[in-house]
Amino acid sequence: MTIQLGDVVPDFTQKSTEGDISFHNWIGDGWAILFSHPKDFTPVCTTELAEVARLKPEFEKRNMKPIALSVDSVDSHQGWLADIKETQGSAVNYPILADADRTVSDLYGMIHPNADDTLTVRSVFIIDPNKKLRLTLTYPASTGRNFDEILRVIDSLQLTEYHKVATPVNWQDGDDCVIVPAITDPDQMKELFPKGWKELKPYLRMTPQPNK
């Protein structure tokens, strides 16, 4: 199954390290990040799960809940959680879905047969409060994810959701933004962007970040 940006993500009920999870209900009225792992007791995944635990306050500031997935059982996950705490110094503080039957992996297209026909790739799904998919990232199993970049993208998604701007190349929170081309009325621009703007071209107008 291929999920495209803007689609409502598939709902499911699945076991996890924090009990049964009905996904849409679990998301609630906030944002969510679902990220998959090839299997339990793998070295790169061990570092990633600990990093997300350390970053949980950053996700909470963004009204976002993290949830992981691995294609092993809850019992296996529990043993892995002990290893993560021992080796990384951080206890996992969010649920890990058990997907031994590949239900979620198949629903979300996490298994890429030409890479590996049984293990999931490192998929990332950013989901908004309307349960719509806003971003996907796919990494090979050998490459750990950059969660600083994932937080940057979340900041961009949430900024552009509520303000008439886009974010330019290498944008970081607090940098100038691009006024979307659809806004052309000068009075509307003055109302939306009271800090002013710089017109480099009629289609390229830079303004200070509106929510800063």
Residues recognised as catalytic: 45
Residue 85 has φ and ψ, to the nearest 5°, of -65, -40
* E strand spans, the chain: 13-14, 21-22, 31-37, 64-70, 96-98, 122-127, 133-139, 165-166, 177-179, 198-201, 204-207
Contact between 110 and 125 (Cβ < 8 Å) = no
d(CA 152, CA 168): 12
Which among 137, 115, 139 has a CA at the least distance from the CA of 44?
139
Any idea how long the chain is?
A: 212
d(CA 174, CA 91): 31
